[in-house]
Structures are given as structure tokens and as C-alpha cells.
């Protein structure tokens, strides 16, 4: 190699490691005391839940909490640490429908791992006999872990050992890992497996639960999903359904049996409304000719109430009573309503309603304003669809906000039962909006509305309880199958 070119390469590498770090350090500094003061003042004036929680927890508790974090803020120098401190301050009020993010973050180089060269050199290896390995794969008549699996950037060959199986590295571009090093070990644990897994820096985590999702996915819990890349085995329809649930971000419908359809809706974001409506139109005949409908809302964090409006006719039996909200009118909050009146994701009628609300709010600054005159609205439909007879809605701890509002409406139908676990609990204070700090470095998220349900029926902090609790002994991958078996055991409709 040319010595001059080598020296230049080393110099460039040195500068890339040292100079950007100093640059990032300078850019990352912030005055956290000022940022927290701005957040405090903005939240106190504009958040619809501030006064309610203050009355619940007391002025002294709030002052003590604020004083402690204000003191800690003096010693904080980086944006990320400041963001964490601000979030801790916000958590005094609730666990959801709050947030703070750092804007204009500098793109930082991937941190250089401090690797122990002896640990790398001495890490356990297992040389693969390629011909024998391929022969083992070819002779498999039933699914087993043996084969080639990938979780980018790691590709491994899983081979049997005396104690279970070992995942032997085949390729790992861009990492310090070398061919034939053991990436993980799988040990039998009753009817399942547990793992010992080594990370990129060769640190280790032991006794990690392992789940086989169908025949072609290995989930090392909280760590990695390894996908089979060698000869695949056919999965049962319900397993395919679960894989779709994990990896698909758009709504879809499947016919699980002659009597039961399955509708997956991962989000009620307003940008998803067109897709939801399209799925319902396309499969309308299937839905209304099936006795049962499973609606899978797991991990659906909410969005907009308008996004689920087309779903209501399929589950409706009784007039739906909805408790209203009141909006806190401030200049900052009202600007968010004005922006909604100009958002073309909403129809012309909805935009007109937003504009009318904006004008009403502006006429009563500093106060809570009810969107509708009545505390409770009752919505009725002219007819009830004969099918589906039963609607089973799957929910878990990641269902929140608009999804919880949908559940409050859905539970009023005699067709509907909820299956799963308690929801997240983020609905009493809603209609999130944001503000940017004077420095331009932070964005605060808070709420503009307060439900008239509280304190009589609070959702925050407890969530919505399912009718049928699916305990941890029923794996999430088996939820759909369990509910399918449950609702198809009884062909009679629910009592009216």
C-alpha cells in the first residue's frame, strides 16, 4: 500500500472519530433549566388535565416534584438528558398523552464499541461441515430449528448439539463477528426453549425465553426475530395470520372459517381511514354473511374517531351513548383547531365543524368550552345487521386513546365482547397537540380536551377491562385461535 495514502487514510479516520464528536458535543448542549421552565409554564396554561390532576394530587406534591427536577436541571448539559428529565416532570400528571422530543438532532456516528479483543478471540466457535449441514437440512421431514436463519445483519446455521442447538455464524457484515463463532445457544425448557445470546459487543444475556412462531420464525424474546432462510415448512392458516399481525401495518380481512371472519386494524390514524373503509367495502358481503367477526385491535394506539366510523354499522345493536368533552380555550390550543379546519384529510363537513368550534373557542379564551351543548349524545341507526351475530374484539395493554373511545362505544352493543388484557388507559385527557420551545430545540406534546366522564368513570391509569381475560398462559400468537374456538363452540346468538 502507498505509505502516503495509508497515512492520509489514518488521518481521515482520526478526524472522523474526533472532530465530529466535539462538534456533536457542542451542538448537543442545552440550558435545561430554561427548557423545563418553558415546559412548565406552557403546560400549566394549556394542558386540559393540569388543573384536574393538581386538585387530585395537591399543590404541595406538585411544588415538591417541580422543585426537585428544577434542581436536577441545573446539572444537565445534554439535550437527551434534558428530554428525559422533562418527561419525568410530565409523568406527574399521567402516563399517556404527554411527550417531549428533541428537534434538529445532529446525526451522530454509530458509537464505536469498546471491544475486548481477547473476548472476541477466545469466543466459542463451532466449525460447520457444510456438506453434513446441508444433508441435515435435506433430511428434515418435520420442522425443527435445524437450518439457515437470518436476523439482519446476522445469518446463522442452527445445528444440534448435546445440550440443545447452537446458532453458528455464517455471515455478519459490518460487525466484529467472524464465521463459525456461536451467536446463541438454545436449551430445552419443558415444552419450549430458552436461550443464551451474545450481542454485537460480545456481551451475553442468559436464560432468555424463546418462542417458535409457526415453523419459520424464532423469537428470542425482547432481542431478535430469526427467519428461516433454508427450506421452509408450510404454516397453518392461524400461524400465517399471526405473522401478518406482526408485520403488516395496513388493515386487512381474512375468512378464518365458514362462520368466522377476521379483521385486523393496526391503527385508527386518520391517514388510515381510506384503507379501513376500502377493506370494509371489499369484504362487505363476507362480513355480513358470517356468524362471527373477530376484530383484532392489539397494539392499536389510536388516532381519530372518524377513522372507525364505517366500522360501527357492523357491530351496532343499541343506541350509542357518548359522553362529551370540553376543550380548554387558549390561543395556542385554538390554533391547533384552526389547522384541523384546513386539513384535507377530513371531509368538507368536518372541516366546517372545526372552523365553527374554533370561532366558539376564540370567543371564550381562558375557559373550558363544551363542543356540544348536551353532555351526552345518543346516536341511533335505522337498522341492525343480522350478521355478524357475535363480534369478538381483541385488545391488549397497547390499545389507547381513540381505540379506547371506540371500545366504549362498541361495548354498548349486545353483539360485542372484548377478549385480551386491560388497555393502556389514555383517554380522559385527549386531543393531543404540540408546541415548540423558544430555543427551537424541544417539542412538547400535551392535551386540549377533558372528558365529562371524569371523575365518575376514569380510564386513565386503569384502562378498559376485557370481558374475557386471556391470561399469560395463552400466548399472544394463540389468541386468535383461542377466540375462534370459543365463539364457534356456541352457534346460538348472544341473548338480546
Going by pLDDT thresholds of 50, 70 and 90, the confidence category of residue 79 is very high
Task: Name the 3-class secondary structure at 43.
Answer: helix
What is the full DSSP assignment across 154-166?
A: EEEEEEE-SSSEE
Cβ-proximal residues to 39 (8 Å cutoff; 6+ apart), any chain:
86, 89, 90, 100, 437, 442, 444
> pLDDT digit string (tens) for 440-495?
999 999 999 999 999 999 999 899 999 999 998 898 888 999 999 999 986 544 44
* Confidence at residue 476, expressed as pLDDT on a 0 to 100 scale: 85
Residue 107: pLDDT band by 50, 70, 90 thresholds? very low
Query: Of residues 109 and 86, which shows the higher confidence score?
Result: 86
Neighbouring C-beta atoms of residue 496, cutoff 10 Å: 8
Say which residue the cell 479516520 belongs to: 13
The model's pTM = 0.76
d(CA 405, CA 387): 23
d(CA 360, CA 356): 6
pLDDT at residue 13, as a whole number: 35
State the average pLDDT over residues 292-303.
Answer: 95
What digits encode the pLDDT tens for the residues 298-344? 999 999 999 999 999 999 999 999 999 999 999 999 999 999 899 88
Question: All 3 cell numbers of residue 86?
Answer: 422533562
Amino acid at each position: 500500500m502507498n505509505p502516503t495514502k495509508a497515512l492520509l487514510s489514518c488521518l481521515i479516520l482520526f478526524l472522523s472519530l474526533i472532530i465530529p464528536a466535539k462538534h456533536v458535543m457542542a451542538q448537543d448542549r442545552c440550558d435545561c433549566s430554561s427548557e423545563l421552565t418553558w415546559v412548565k409554564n406552557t403546560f400549566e396554561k394549556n394542558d386540559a388535565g393540569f388543573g384536574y390532576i393538581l386538585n387530585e394530587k395537591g399543590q404541595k406534591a406538585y411544588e415538591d416534584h417541580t422543585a426537585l427536577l428544577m434542581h436536577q436541571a441545573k446539572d444537565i448539559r445534554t439535550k437527551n438528558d434534558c428530554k428525559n428529565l422533562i418527561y419525568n416532570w410530565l409523568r406527574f400528571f399521567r402516563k399517556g398523552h404527554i411527550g417531549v422530543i428533541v428537534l434538529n438532532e445532529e446525526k451522530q456516528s454509530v458509537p464505536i464499541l469498546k471491544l475486548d479483543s481477547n473476548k472476541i478471540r477466545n469466543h466459542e466457535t463451532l466449525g460447520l461441515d457444510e456438506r453434513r449441514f446441508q444433508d441435515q437440512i435435506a433430511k428434515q421431514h418435520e420442522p425443527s430449528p435445524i437450518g439457515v436463519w437470518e436476523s439482519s445483519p446476522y445469518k446463522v446455521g442452527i445445528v444440534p448439539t448435546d445440550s440443545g442447538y447452537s446458532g453458528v455464524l455464517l455471515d455478519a457484515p459490518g460487525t466484529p463477528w467472524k464465521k463459525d463463532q456461536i451467536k446463541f445457544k438454545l436449551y430445552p425448557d419443558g415444552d419450549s426453549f430458552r436461550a443464551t445470546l451474545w450481542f454485537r459487543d460480545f456481551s451475553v444475556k442468559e436464560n432468555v425465553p424463546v418462542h417458535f412462531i409457526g415453523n419459520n420464525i424464532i423469537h428470542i424474546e425482547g432481542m431478535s426475530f430469526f427467519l428461516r432462510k433454508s427450506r421452509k415448512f408450510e404454516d397453518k392458516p392461524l400461524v400465517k395470520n399471526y405473522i401478518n399481525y406482526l408485520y403488516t401495518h395496513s388493515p386487512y380481512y381474512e375468512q378464518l372459517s365458514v362462520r368466522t371472519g377476521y379483521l385486523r386494524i393496526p391503527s385508527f390514524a386518520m391517514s388510515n381511514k381510506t384503507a379501513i373503509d376500502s377493506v370494509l367495502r371489499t369484504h362487505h358481503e363476507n362480513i355480513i354473511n358470517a356468524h362471527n367477526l373477530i376484530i383484532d385491535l392489539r397494539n392499536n394506539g389510536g388516532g381519530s374517531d372518524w377513522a372507525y366510523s364505517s366500522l360501527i354499522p357492523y357491530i351496532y345493536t343499541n343506541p350509542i351513548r357518548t359522553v362529551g368533552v370540553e376543550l380548554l380555550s387558549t390561543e395556542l390550543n385554538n390554533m391547533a383547531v384552526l389547522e384541523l379546519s384546513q386539513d384535507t384529510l377530513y371531509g368538507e363537513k368536518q372541516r366546517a365543524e372545526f372552523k365553527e368550534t374554533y370561532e366558539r373557542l376564540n370567543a371564550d379564551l381562558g375557559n373550558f368550552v363544551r363542543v356540544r351543548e348536551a353532555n351526552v349524545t345518543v346516536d341511533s341507526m335505522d337498522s341492525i345487521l343480522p350478521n355478524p351475530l357475535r363480534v369478538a374484539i381483541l385488545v391488549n395493554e397497547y390499545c389507547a386513546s381513540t381505540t379506547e373511545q371506540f371500545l366504549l362505544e362498541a361495548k354498548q352493543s349486545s353483539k360485542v365482547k372484548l377478549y385480551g388484557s386491560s388497555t393502556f388507559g389514555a383517554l380522559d385527557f385527549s386531543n393531543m397537540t404540540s408546541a415548540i420551545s423558544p430555543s427551537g430545540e424541544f417539542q412538547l406534546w400535551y392535551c386540549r380536551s377533558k372528558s365529562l366522564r371524569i371523575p365518575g368513570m376514569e380510564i386513565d391509569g386503569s384502562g378498559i377491562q376485557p370481558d374475557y381475560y386471556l391470561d399469560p398462559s395463552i400466548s399472544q400468537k394463540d389468541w386468535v385461535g383461542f377466540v375462534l374456538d370459543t365463539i364457534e363452540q356456541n352457534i346460538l346468538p348472544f341473548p338480546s
